[in-house]
Amino acid sequence: MATLKLKKAAGKAAPDKPARAPLRGAGSGVKKRPTLAQAQADRAEREARYQEQLRQRFGDQPPAEFTRRGEPPPMSRGKPPGRPTGDNKPRPTGPVATRRDEAQMQRPRRDPLPPARRAEPGAQRGGPNTAFGRPSQPAGPFGPRDTSSRNPNPRNPPPRNAGPRDAGHRDAPPRNTAFGNSRPAPQRRAERFERDDDEPVYHAEQPGSLRLSKRMSELGIASRREADEWIPKGWVRVDGEVVKELGSRVMPGQRITVDAQARHQQAQRVTVLINKPVGYVSGQAEDGYEPAYVLVKPENQWHDDNSGVRFLHTHLRGLAPAGRLDIDSVGLLVLTQDGRVAKQLIGENSEIEKEYLVRVQRADGTPLPDSELALLRHGLELDGEPLREAQVEWVNEDQLRFVLREGKKRQIRRMCEAVGLEVLGLKRVRIGRVMLGDLPTGQWRYLRPDEAF
C-alpha cells in the first residue's frame, strides 16, 4: 500500500535575514554589465599582477615565449660550447637536402612499362638505374665502394660471368636491367612457341593439294564437320605425323589415318529411320509446322526395333535429316548423327536410289500416253537443268513407281505436273538397300548394325 506524504507549509523568514532574490533561469540573479572604464581598469590590474609574477619567477629577463609583442627581444645569453667536432665537417647551413624517400614521393609518375622490357644497349648488370634519364646517385654518404684493390679470395670460385661461357651451354636471354633487376627478361611468346625446323607443316598451297578435311570426306573417313572436329584434338595423322592445324592441305598420295578415339566416337553416333506422317517438315520448323525429329522420343520407338541400341538423350544431339520429304508426303525419312551417312545419301556424287509410290490422276480422266511416260523417264528439265534418268512404271491403274538417283525440291510433283498428272499421294518406301517395311506411321527405329544404304 502506498503512503502519501504532504509537504510542510513554508514558514515565514526570520526578521534578521534579508529576503532571497527570486530565481531567473539558470543564474541566481541579474548580473550588472561593467562599463568600459571599469573593464579597462580590471584588465590593467590583471596585467600588473601577471608582470609581477613573471619578475618574481624569472627576474628582469623573461624567456622569449613570455615576451609581449610590443617589447623588444631580449639579449641572447650565449650558447655554451659543445663537444669538439674533430675531423668531421660542419653540417651545411643551406637548405636541408630532401630525403630519398621524400624525393621519390615528389617524383612524377613514370610511364607504363614498355611492352618488351628489354635492357638498354650498353647497360651493365647491377649498374646505376638510368632508365628514366636521372643522373646516377652515390650508393651512400661515402660514395660507391671501390673494389678494384680488393684481392679475390683464392678459396672462392670465380663468378659465373667472369670467364667465357661453355660451348655446351645455350645463350641465356638478355637481362632486364631497366629497373635494377638482375633476373633474365621474360622470353617472347613468339620464341616460346616457335616451331622446330623438323616439325611438318601442312598448310602450303602446293599445286594439286587438297584441304585435309575435304580429302577425308572424299575417302569416306569422316565428314568435313567431323574432320574439323578431330584435327585440333590430334586424332588425325598424315603419313604417321599428327596434324593439328585446321586448313592443312595434303597431296592425294599421302596416307591419312585416324586414332582409335575418333573411331570410337564415330561408332557411338546413331542413324534413325522415321515413317514421317503428313504435316511434318523434314528440316527446321517453318510456317507453324513441326520438324520430324520431334517424333524421336521413347514412347514413339517401334516395339519391334531389334537394333539393340538403347535410347539416350544424347542421340538427339546433332541429329540432322539426310534428304528431304515435303510436308504433304509420307514414308521413309533418315535422320543421322554420322556425317558419312549424310554424305552417302545427299552428297554431290551420291548414287543411292530412292523409291517412291505415287498415286496420280489426269484432269480429263484419260490414260497417260506412252510418250509422256517416256518423258518422265528421261527428257525433262527443272530450273534450267536436265534431270538424270529415272525409272518410272505403272504399279496399277492409278499408281506409279518412281526410282530416282537425285532429290530436287518437290521433284516428283513437278515432273508429274509437266506431263499433266496431278499427284494425290506420295510415299517413299526405300532408300538404297534399307526398306520402310512395316514401320508404322509416326514411329521410328534405329538403323541396325547389319544394315547399310
Q: What is the CATH number of the domain that holds 335?
A: 3.30.2350.10
CATH number for position 250: 3.10.290.10
Q: Please provide the distance, in angstroms rounded to a whole number, between the alpha carbons at the two ends of the chain.
A: 111
406 with 382: CB under 8 angstroms? no
* pLDDT score at 437: 93
Q: Mind telling me the catalytic residues? A: 326
Segments of 146-221 assigned E as strands: 210-211
Give all strands of the β-sheet with 256-258 in edge-to-edge order: 241-242, 236-238, 256-258
Burial class (CB in 10 A: 0-12, 13-18, 19+), 251: middle
Nearest CA among 309, 310, 270 for reference residue 293: 270
Same domain, yes or no: 288 and 372? yes
The mean per-residue pLDDT over the stretch 10-36 comes to 60
- Tell me how many domains the chain contains: 2
Residue 385 in grid coordinates: 537443268
Same domain, yes or no: 284 and 407? yes
Residue 149 in grid coordinates: 684493390
Per-residue pLDDT tens for 161-170? Answer: 544 444 444 5
Q: Is residue 235 part of a domain?
A: yes
208 with 244: CB under 8 angstroms? no
Top-confidence range, 129-138, 202-211, 257-266, 405-414: 405-414
Cell numbers 602450303: residue: 204
Q: Is residue 256 part of a domain?
A: yes
Same domain, yes or no: 223 and 290? no
Residue 391 in this model has a pLDDT that exceeds 70: yes
333 with 282: CB under 8 angstroms? yes
Same domain, yes or no: 253 and 389? no
Same domain, yes or no: 379 and 254? no
Cell numbers 579597462: residue: 40
Quote the domain boundaries for residue 225: 210-267
Burial class (CB in 10 A: 0-12, 13-18, 19+), 333: buried
Top-confidence range, 162-171, 260-269, 347-356: 347-356
DSSP per-residue letters across 248-263: -EE-TTS-EEE-HHHH
282 with 323: CB under 8 angstroms? yes
* pLDDT score at 122: 46
**Domain final residue, candidates 267, 284, 304:** 267
Q: Is residue 344 part of a domain?
A: yes
**Domain final residue, candidates 218, 245, 267:** 267
Q: Which residues pair with 361 in a beta bridge?
A: 422
The model carries a pTM of 0.49
Same domain, yes or no: 248 and 384? no
Q: Is residue 109 part of a domain?
A: no
How far apart, in whole angstroms, are the C-alpha atoms of residue 135 and residue 393? 102
- Confidence at 261, pLDDT banded by 50, 70, 90: confident
Cell numbers 499433266: residue: 420
Residue 95 in grid coordinates: 637548405
Same domain, yes or no: 421 and 290? yes
Phi, psi values for residue 258, rounded to 5°: -125, 155
Same domain, yes or no: 232 and 357? no
Top-confidence range, 14-18, 30-34, 364-368, 408-412: 408-412
Q: Is residue 368 part of a domain?
A: yes
Per-residue pLDDT tens for 359-384? Answer: 999 988 888 999 999 999 999 999 88
Same domain, yes or no: 284 and 215? no
> Who has greater pLDDT, 429 or 68?
429
Percent of the chain whose predicted confidence (pLDDT) is above 70 = 61
Phi, psi values for residue 345, rounded to 5°: -90, -40
Length of the chain: 453
Per-residue pLDDT tens for 56-80? Answer: 887 776 665 555 555 665 555 555 5
Q: Is residue 298 part of a domain?
A: yes
363 with 420: CB under 8 angstroms? yes
Per-residue pLDDT tens for 181-203? Answer: 555 555 554 444 444 444 454 55
Residue 435 in this model has a pLDDT that exceeds 50: yes
Same domain, yes or no: 400 and 282? yes
412 with 422: CB under 8 angstroms? no
Residue 221 in grid coordinates: 573417313
- Confidence at 116, pLDDT banded by 50, 70, 90: very low
In the three-class reduction of DSSP (H, G, I as helix; E, B as strand; rest coil), residue 233 is classed as coil
Q: Is residue 377 part of a domain?
A: yes
Cell numbers 646516377: residue: 136
